[in-house]
Structure 1
């Protein structure tokens, strides 16, 4: 049983604040990519969509002279660290199972290589899916963070994705019982 839905997460003021700061359209698109990737790779769609939705909530806005400074961001950003912490705290507050909250936070922590030392990192399947979902929606110069979506359309897309996740989650649970 899902104790915390995507709608629950999306409705929370903390999620609203940081999703809008980091790019709401990108977060929702990444969540849809994560759903399809999770289905394809046999990963828990509930965890994948939550992690992808929240993957950039740690972003800080890097500006120089009133303009977005992509290079400053690329050199100094640690948004995945801050985002993992924010997501974990938010999910625990909402009543997410602590192990699920930890898995989601770790997937957010490892969704990007931008702050990690050089070398290959072995990711879990969930962590890989969140990374791929983010990459599937990237645009040069970080422009994906600045695409817009209306609040009404954002809510509609979240509710639709939540319904897909609920149906799939029910199938997964049924498979565990049989």
Structure 2
């Protein structure tokens, strides 16, 4: 089956550190949206959910006088660059094959254009799915990063996603 599950990714200490920084609830909701969009668009749901879960692990903490400074974040943001690198390193460390790890990292890199100079961003289907999934959960002022979800509930969501992906992969193998 899969070398690395979402639960493997989610429970790793590196993922825990950065998912808590960028918002566990947001990461899981984006992974859930990514699964549905992947299935609708013929995209590998394993890659889409991993990219959705990890898409914001490159976030820096932009605070001014102890409060989140959204404008400073918007002006200085390069989280997709740092997140792609962190995700790639984490996935390889966990045993993900190199090519899928690269595809996931590129989807994270291109899930937003907030760090790019003005221009058109060309995305493949996986990258589009991750971007759309993220946009589906955004709230004004970055509030989506601060919704709470405890670890047990989060892990239950992750395990349900893993089961849905496994069921899909079993179904696909039966038809081949």
Same fold (TM over 0.5): yes
Task: Quote the Cα distance in structure 1 between the aligned partners of 2:172 and 2:54.
Answer: 23
Task: Quote the Cα distance in structure 2 between the aligned partners of 1:29 and 1:139.
Answer: 13
Instruction: State the match for 1:145 in structure 2.
Output: 145
Task: Quote the Cα distance in structure 2 between the aligned partners of 1:153 and 1:82.
Answer: 27
Which residues in structure 2 correspond to 1:1-178 (within 5 Å)? 1-175=1-175, 178=176
Task: Quote the Cα distance in structure 2 between the aligned partners of 1:52 and 1:23.
Answer: 12
* Number of aligned residues: 176
Task: Quote the Cα distance in structure 2 between the aligned partners of 1:174 and 1:92.
Answer: 29
Measured after TM superposition, the shift of residue 121 of structure 1 is 1.4
**Segments ≥4 residues shifted beyond 3 Å:** none
Task: Quote the Cα distance in structure 2 between the aligned partners of 1:169 and 1:60.
Answer: 35
Could you state the TM-score of these two structures normalised by the residue count of structure 1?
0.97
The root-mean-square deviation of aligned C-alpha atoms, in Å, is 0.8
TM-superposition CA deviations, 1:13-60 (whole Å, max 9, x none):
000110011000000000000000000000000000000000000000
Could you state the TM-score of these two structures normalised by the residue count of structure 2?
0.98
What are structure 2's unaligned runs of at least 5 residues?
Answer: none
Measured after TM superposition, the shift of residue 171 of structure 1 is 2.3
Are the equivalent residues in 2 in contact too, given 1:46–1:169 (CA < 8 A)?
Answer: no
Are the equivalent residues in 2 in contact too, given 1:22–1:59 (CA < 8 A)?
Answer: yes
SS in 2 for 1:60: coil
Task: Quote the Cα distance in structure 2 between the aligned partners of 1:166 and 1:16.
Answer: 23
Measured after TM superposition, the shift of residue 173 of structure 1 is 3.4
My pick for the range that moved more, 30-39 or 165-174, is 165-174
